[in-house]
Amino acid sequence: MANDGIGASVPRKEDRRFTTGQGTYTGDVNLAGQLHAVFVRSPHAHAHIKSVDLSEASKMPGVVAIHTGEELEAGGINHLICGWAITSKNGSGMRMGPYPPLAIGKVRFVGQPIVAVVARSRDQAEDAAEAVQIDYETLPAVTNPVDALKPDAPAIHEFEADSSVWEHGRAPSNLIFDWELGDAAATDNAIKSAKHVVKIDLVNNRVVPSAMEARAVVADYRSSDGHFTLWNTTQNPHLLRVVLSAFINVAPEHKLRIIAPDVGGGFGSKIFTYSEEVVCLWAAKQAGKPVKWVSGRNEAFLTDAHGRDHVTTAEIAFDDDYRMLGLKVDTIANLGGYMSLFASLIPTYLYAPLLSGQYVIPNIHVNVRAVYTNTVPVDAVRGAGRPEATYVLERLIEKAARELGVDRAELRRKNFVREFPYQTPVLWKYDSGNYDGLLTKALAASKWDDFEARKAEAAKRGKLRGIGLSCYIEACGVAPSSAEGGALGAGVGVWEMAEIKVNPVGTVEVLVGTLGHGQGHETTYAQIAADRFGIPIDSVSVIEGDTDKVQQGMGTYGSRTAGNGTSAVYRALDKIEAKAKKIAAHLLEASEEDITIANGEFSVSGTDRKVTLTDVSLAAYTFHKLPKDIEPGLDEKAYFDPTDLTYPAGAFVCEVEIDPATGTTEVVQFTAVDDFGNVINPMIVEGQVHGGVMHGLGQALLEEAKYDPGSGQLIAGSYMDYCMPRAHDLPKSFDHAFQKTPTPNNPLGLKGCGEAGAIGSPPAIINAITDALGTEDISMPATPEKIWRALQSAGQNA
């Protein structure tokens, strides 16, 4: 049955369910007597709440209860938390403004929930929500992170003065932290004494995560024993349970069962704990009835944590032989109106250490100032910090090559890391890789050397053709508890757990603490188990997303499942294998060391004596034949705590054609060569790359969560105004190849693949556009109008 095992492109087991309407999403869960919650949200970006009048609303038909922030506070419900502590370079802690699940006294972004109306039907709840009277005193708003740091910017949160660390006793009012990584003095010196210095100013545009399934909650409460069940669109049910119980105090951990049924995408946005989960649990307890909330798409725009939103200046220095000497990066990161669960981690440890890229850069210094603005909280979106880092470095190198008149591929090649493990000057230690190999493959596959001919041919058709390169580095499986995690401020240890049950009839169940939300886990894990026993994947079921079934887990984000989830499964399989061999040896009257497994059978090597997996499992449960030193049953649990992160890398080449009359860009060819270490299911992994590249293409060409700076309204607040990539935006030709340099950091040598495409593609695309235009002055999204304007000012318009 090797066809189903590791390395086989098995069709995804779960897709029949998804494509025939048999998936069960949180929105599909309906409980008897269920009530519906609707949230009254702030229409203002920044305002004092002067009064809330519920008298009209509470008389409306069907209304059961109306909840406020004050009520939750009085009930002992704590505020939402940010789970990663970052310390400013002057030693002061990050300035975390209080984030009550329902606003108290003040609102800080449009969409912030203030009141929750619970009624018998959704329509009744909406009618009553409209009748809630809130009197606001509006305040000036700030949405741009650079403006938020100006002395006259409106202060979004109020903090105590601290004269011991901040100049004049006060930090800039909206500053969350002013953090650095690397050696500032050494980097400054390297730049000062360098032969060549190239500088770039960049904005990394804000994006909306846009999972196909919007967030949803069904909260149930059983008063007889005070037990809660929460169905929720979450990427990490166990982590959510810890946060809701230990930190927010809305339900005790042992009486809170969280079920993540099928989850329709997340891209990071479903990692975090949101107000709606907290409020629905509270409301269910008060009403003694289930309470349901399903986000509308308009609510999703205003409440799902957004991504990116950096403003950066970067400088790179080279010696006279074009070797990199130093890199200095200064970034302002917009974290929105409040600090979401991992908000502080994204622009720090998921960003700054990645700025070494694939290169030997002896001196690196990164300064990051995180700021509050009157916008939706910003947190992880696919890639989270790593796309921002890659965009800075890969645009800067491309620009340097052009300014210095050297070949862009050769400039990169000259500076590649070539020996592994490689300790960068910014924390991370790269595990393994062959960056030269990636680049060589990508240049060959993209026919890089023949580009000029294609450009000339395009020119005959009136098109401007450009080619761009991006060599990305990725870091997967954030915060192994045994490595830097704790020391760097992580509030959790990010290991993973799996349990394998071999049933009496020899079928296998894999229970694992990750949470697939489109990535094909049910197939990938099944392949690993099938591979171990040589059984078909149909004999394996994979169970995730129910805290009553799966004992522990850390969820799926940060491309961590390949490295951590599969390793936990692998370790549990090791234990199963050992016990199964022991039982088989007993049944076959042989020694354990002589037992081999293939095709679902245990054989004594060198003989034709064998028993099937079913014989072994049956014996494990119908126990009478087994000796006393074997416990009954054939199920085992294992934890995996990685020793370090894994570091996938890749080389992307993008080729575009621009219509100079309209400024429209078409991606005509995209070549991706990725090193994800070993690969379980190449088809699934390629699918992740395709999706990731399209995600990056969306950011590069189409997507922008634009705010009106005066009013703080999200003006791109629906898909009529916010442009997602569509099928016709796909590159006309898409080439993908693997290079396999296994990581030593986990047993299967897997590095992770879910975010790579979104990390590496934006600079490849923009570098192709700047190549075609002959100007560096292009920002994302590179809309037709921006390109047309660039051509106008260059006087090139046809």
Partner 1 sequence: MYQTRYHRPGSVAEAAELLSKAEDGRYVAGGHTLIPTMKHRLAGPSDLVDLSRLSELKGISEKGGTVTIGAATTHYEVASSDAVRKAIPALAALAGMIGDPAVRNRGTIGGSLANNDPGADYPAAVLGLGATIHTDKRKIEADDFFTGLFTTALEEGEIIVKVSFPVPKKAAYEKFHSAASRYALTGVFVASAKDGAVRVAVTGAGANGVFRAADIEKALSGKASSDAIDAVSIDPSGLLSDIHGSAEYRANLVKVMAKRAVDAIG
The residues that touch partner 1, with contacts defined as CB under 8 A, are: 123, 126-127, 130, 298, 661-662, 702, 706, 715-716, 719-724, 783-785, 788-789
Check if the beta carbon of residue 438 is closer than 8 Å to that of residue 471.
Answer: yes
Q: Quick one: 110 or 355, whose CB is closer to partner 1?
A: 110
CB nearer to partner 1: pick between 660 and 763: 660
Q: Which residue lies nearer to partner 1 by CB, 323 or 789?
A: 789
In terms of CB distance, is 7 or 62 closer to partner 1? 62
In DSSP notation, 370-381 reads EE--SS--B---
Name the token pair of 233: 């669109």
738 or 788: CB nearest partner 1: 788
Could you list the beta-strand ranges (E) of 385-539: 422-423, 429-430, 464-473, 496-502, 508-512
Termini Cα distance of the chain? 61
Least spacing, CB of residue 461 vs partner 1, in Å:
14
| φ/ψ of residue 92, rounded to 5 | -85, 150
**CA-CA-CA-CA torsion sign (399, 403, 404, 406):** positive
Shortest Å distance, C-beta 700 to partner 1: 13
* Alpha-carbon span 89 to 574, nearest angstrom: 45
φ, ψ dihedrals at 474, nearest 5°: -130, 155
Encoding tokens for residue 266?
């997340």
Tell me the two tokens of residue 552.
């522990």
β-sheet bridge partners, residue 309: none
Least distance between partner 1 and beta carbon 116 (Å): 18
Q: Which is nearer to partner 1, 578 or 794 (CB)?
A: 794
Q: Which is nearer to partner 1, 279 or 716 (CB)?
A: 716
Smallest separation (angstroms) from partner 1 to the CB of 716: 7
* In the complex, least distance from residue 785 CB atom to partner 1, rounded to whole angstroms: 4
- The distance of closest approach from Cβ of residue 722 to partner 1 in the complex, given in angstroms and rounded to an integer, is 6
What torsion, rounded to 10 degrees, do the Cα atoms 597, 599, 602, 603 define?
A: -90
Q: Both tokens of residue 19?
A: 């494509």
Closest of 230, 320, 329 to residue 281, by C-alpha: 230
Asked if 294 and 216 count as a contact pair (C-beta separation under 8 A), the reply is yes
Cα gap 716→618, rounded to integer Å: 60
Rounded Cα distance between 559 and 545, Å, is: 17
Least separation in angstroms between CB 568 and partner 1:
42
* Closer Cβ to partner 1, 456 or 715, answer by number: 715
- State the minimum distance, in angstroms, from the CB of residue 784 to partner 1: 8
Distance CA 617, CA 85 (A): 47
CB 706 to partner 1: min, Å: 6
> Which C-beta is closer to partner 1: that of 298 or that of 503?
298
CB atoms within 10 A of CB 512: 28
Angle, alpha carbons 450-398-443 (nearest 5°): 30
Residue 390 CA to residue 251 CA, distance in Å, equals 41
Shortest Cβ 704–partner 1 spacing (Å): 9
Nearer to partner 1, 184 or 724 (CB): 724
Q: What is the DSSP letter of 594?
A: G
Q: Which helix (H) or strand (E) holds 363?
A: strand 363-371
Least Å from the CB of residue 666 to partner 1: 13
Q: Quick one: 121 or 591, whose CB is closer to partner 1?
A: 121
- Please, are residues 266 and 233 in contact by the beta-carbon 8 Å criterion? yes
